[in-house]
């Protein structure tokens, strides 16, 4: 059995139940129950029509739950009469669910969890495992999110920018447990690309693919962080890079530049270079200038300073770093790198140590500590 098939059908099945009168939260709960039953029974007894099977089981579950609540008997009578109109296209259901789950009224963490449940078809346990939190904690987060949007109709969705931010947040979580969140984000974004011709959606997919292509080379033995300059580029996935570049070029052809297309263009230049020294840093600086116009992000300014340092020398990079908020997470690490390249090893060692203390992950902390030790070794007579 194709294990991803039941999950892919979840948005369409939720849409059918909602059109029959179920509220979003109840429909989502019923579909999750049907999904669990499908995973248990389909391997031995696959249905001829998987979607119809899920709809039937989920609808029965919804009616059973409704009947069990005496205070909702009036509503039960209403939902038991199916509308005469046939079901809307599954694509419409999926797109609406994307927007509803990423509604601006939801906190980002809640929007991510709800998207993984309702659109991705993951169970609460799978999401909790991926985020390394107790299942009860994740269940509460999802329940709060569903209560928050309980009064919203499917024709009152959020905005596309929020949807894309949620998908990018899922991608950046990487993976954990039995759910690869980076791969799941790519799957969901591919789905969204098939539903809309908005170039920023394609730009986000291209960005994910180009980053994902370098995944296996980013860590060494024991989870040791491997910076871009030291990565074995022969291990990069050339098929993903080729696909990402093609998707990006098609998106850029619409001439409606956005931040994800711009980030993807930067990632494509890195992917195209045989080595760090042979990277087209001048063009990367130009793309960062475009990205600054679009976002005015302090993090973009920080990354631009690195690119300027590579394109025009470390002193130019340090000059570009002036005015960038020193409280940013990677500021000390960037300053250390540029000072070392400029020959100021003493200050670089201090900055590497400072960056190590401020690191938010163990691999990053250990990497920066090793950099500090390496530069101190160079300072010895």
Residue span of the structural domain in which 12 resides: 1-88
- Helix runs in 102-219, H state only: 108-118, 124-130, 135-148, 160-172, 181-193, 199-212
- pLDDT level of residue 20 (50, 70, 90 thresholds): confident
Cβ neighbour number for residue 91 with a 10 Å cutoff: 15
Question: Is 26 part of any domain?
Answer: yes
CA distance 96 to 359: 39
Cβ neighbour number for residue 173 with a 10 Å cutoff: 19
- What tokens were used for 138? 């994740």
| Helix, strand, coil abundance in the chain, percent, nearest 5 | 70, 0, 30
- Write down the pLDDT at residue 353: 97
Of the ranges 42-51, 71-80, 149-158, 309-318, which is most confident? 309-318
- Write down the pLDDT at residue 83: 40
Please answer whether residues 14 and 93 qualify as being in contact, where contact means their C-beta atoms are separated by less than 8 angstroms. Answer: yes
Q: Is the pLDDT of residue 352 over 60?
A: yes
- Write down the pLDDT at residue 131: 77
- What tokens were used for 155? 């024709």
- Write down the pLDDT at residue 158: 61
Closest alpha carbon to 305 in 280, 324, 326: 324
Question: Is 12 part of any domain?
Answer: yes
- What tokens were used for 375? 């530069």
CA distance 372 to 346: 10
**Choice between 354 and 118, residue whose per-residue pLDDT is larger:** 354
Q: pLDDT tens, 200-257?
A: 999 999 999 999 999 999 999 988 999 999 999 999 999 999 999 999 999 999 999 9
- What tokens were used for 45? 């007894």
Cβ neighbour number for residue 325 with a 10 Å cutoff: 10
Please answer whether residues 241 and 214 qualify as being in contact, where contact means their C-beta atoms are separated by less than 8 angstroms. Answer: no
- Write down the pLDDT at residue 107: 84
What are 219's strand-pairing partners? 225
Look at the chain and count its residues. 381
* Half-sphere exposure at residue 227, Cβ-oriented, CA atoms within 13 angstroms: 12
- pLDDT level of residue 89 (50, 70, 90 thresholds): low
**What distances in angstroms separate CA 222 from CA 218, 226, 328, 363, 366, one per listed residue?**
12, 11, 28, 9, 11
Q: pLDDT tens, 252-295?
A: 999 999 999 999 999 999 999 999 999 999 999 999 999 999 99
User: Mean pLDDT for the chain?
Assistant: 86
The owner of tokens 């931040």 is: 259
Question: Is 250 part of any domain?
Answer: no
Q: Is the pLDDT of residue 151 over 80?
A: no
CA distance 338 to 316: 9
Q: Is the pLDDT of residue 157 over 60?
A: no
- Write down the pLDDT at residue 165: 87
**Percent of the chain's residues with pLDDT above 90:** 49
pTM, entire model: 0.78
User: Average pLDDT, stretch 107-134?
Assistant: 84
- pLDDT level of residue 82 (50, 70, 90 thresholds): very low
Q: Is the pLDDT of residue 320 over 90?
A: yes
Of the ranges 58-72, 92-106, 317-331, which is most confident? 317-331
Question: Is 47 part of any domain?
Answer: yes
- Write down the pLDDT at residue 1: 52
Question: Is 41 part of any domain?
Answer: yes
Which of 65-69, 82-86, 156-160, 203-207 has the weakest average pLDDT? Answer: 82-86
CA distance 344 to 339: 5
Please answer whether residues 304 and 262 qualify as being in contact, where contact means their C-beta atoms are separated by less than 8 angstroms. Answer: no
User: How many domains, the chain?
Assistant: 1
Task: Note the Cα 60 to chain centre separation in Å.
Answer: 34
Question: Is 241 part of any domain?
Answer: no
Q: Is the pLDDT of residue 72 over 90?
A: no
Question: Is 58 part of any domain?
Answer: yes
Burial 29-51 (b: 16+ CB within 10 A, else e): bbbbbbbebbeeebeeeeeeebb
Question: Is 4 part of any domain?
Answer: yes
């Amino acid at each position: 059995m194709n294990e991803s098939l039941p999950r892919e059908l979840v948005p369409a099945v939720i849409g059918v139940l909602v059109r029959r009168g179920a509220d979003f939260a109840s429909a989502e709960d019923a579909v999750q129950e049907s999904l669990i039953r499908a995973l248990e029974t389909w391997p031995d007894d696959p249905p001829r029509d998987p979607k119809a099977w899920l709809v039937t089981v989920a609808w029965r579950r919804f009616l059973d739950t409704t009947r069990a609540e005496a205070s909702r008997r009036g509503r039960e009578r209403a939902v038991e009469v199916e509308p005469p109109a046939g079901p809307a296209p599954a694509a419409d259901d999926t797109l609406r669910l994307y927007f509803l789950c990423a509604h601006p009224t939801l906190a980002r963490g809640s929007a991510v969890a709800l998207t993984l449940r309702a659109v991705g078809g993951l169970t609460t346990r799978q999401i909790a495992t991926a985020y390394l939190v107790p299942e009860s904690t994740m269940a509460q987060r999802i329940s709060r999110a569903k209560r928050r949007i309980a009064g919203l109709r499917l024709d009152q969705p959020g905005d596309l920018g929020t949807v894309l931010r949620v998908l990018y947040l899922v991608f950046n979580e990487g993976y954990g447990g039995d759910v690869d969140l980076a791969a799941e984000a790519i799957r969901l974004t591919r789905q969204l690309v098939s539903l809309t011709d908005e170039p920023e959606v394609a730009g986000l997919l291209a960005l994910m693919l180009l980053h994902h292509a370098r995944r296996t080379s980013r860590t060494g033995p024991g989870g040791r962080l491997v910076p871009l300059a030291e990565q074995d580029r022969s291990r990069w996935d050339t098929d993903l890079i080729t696909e990402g570049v093609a998707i990006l070029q098609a998106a850029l052809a619409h001439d409606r530049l956005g931040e994800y297309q711009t980030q993807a263009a930067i990632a494509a230049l890195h992917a195209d270079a045989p080595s760090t020294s042979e990277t087209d840093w001048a063009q990367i600086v130009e793309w960062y200038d475009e990205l600054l116009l679009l976002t005015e992000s302090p993090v973009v300014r920080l990354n631009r300073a690195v690119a300027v340092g590579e394109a025009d020398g470390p002193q130019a990079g340090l000059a570009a770093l002036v005015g960038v908020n020193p409280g940013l997470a990677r500021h000390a690490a960037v300053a250390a790198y540029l000072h070392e390249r400029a020959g100021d090893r003493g200050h670089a060692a201090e900055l590497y140590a400072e960056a190590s203390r401020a690191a938010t992950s163990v691999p990053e902390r250990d990497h920066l500590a090793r950099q500090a030790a390496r530069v101190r070794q160079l300072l010895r007579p």
